Amino acid sequence: MGSEQLESSTPLRVVTAAAIFDGHDVAIGIFRRILQSQGCEVIHLGHDRGADEVARAAIQEDAHAVAITSYQGGAVEMFTHTREILDEAGFNHVFLFGGGGGTILPNEIKHLDDSGIARIYSPDDGRELGLVGMVQDAMERA
């Protein structure tokens, strides 16, 4: 959690979803449960969710962060469009993060991270940090 969040009694609020055209909902379900176990309030949208729907939920729920899994090959577009919608609505403070196993290529991860669009956790991050470690890292950044 960010330092301001640690001092507050308000839990970190996170919207979670699996990307559009993606029926792989196990990973985001696991992340949802870990987020909850770490004290986060989670608004879970399920699988097959588009950028518009995810961003709208984050805005309506005044979320601190959004977690998206994307295993269908459209991660750059999904994360970029979600970021654009949030920014246009004045929600550029919302931390966007996620992953997609090996389906998000290293150059795509670098692009999303370097451009400030999103923090993507790779399989290497999973091996280094573990699932709980990745969630804790995201909470600190949010």
Supply the CATH number for residue 34's domain. 3.40.50.280
pLDDT for 1? 45
DSSP-assigned beta bridge partners for residue 120? 98
CA gyration radius, the chain: 14
**What pLDDT score was predicted for residue 101?**
87
Structural domain of residue 93, as residue ranges?
3-141
Residue 102: pLDDT band by 50, 70, 90 thresholds?
Answer: confident
Q: How far apart are CA 72 and CA 98, in angstroms?
A: 13
For the entire predicted model, the pTM comes to 0.90
Structural domain count of the chain:
1
Is the pLDDT confidence value at 2 over 60?
Answer: no
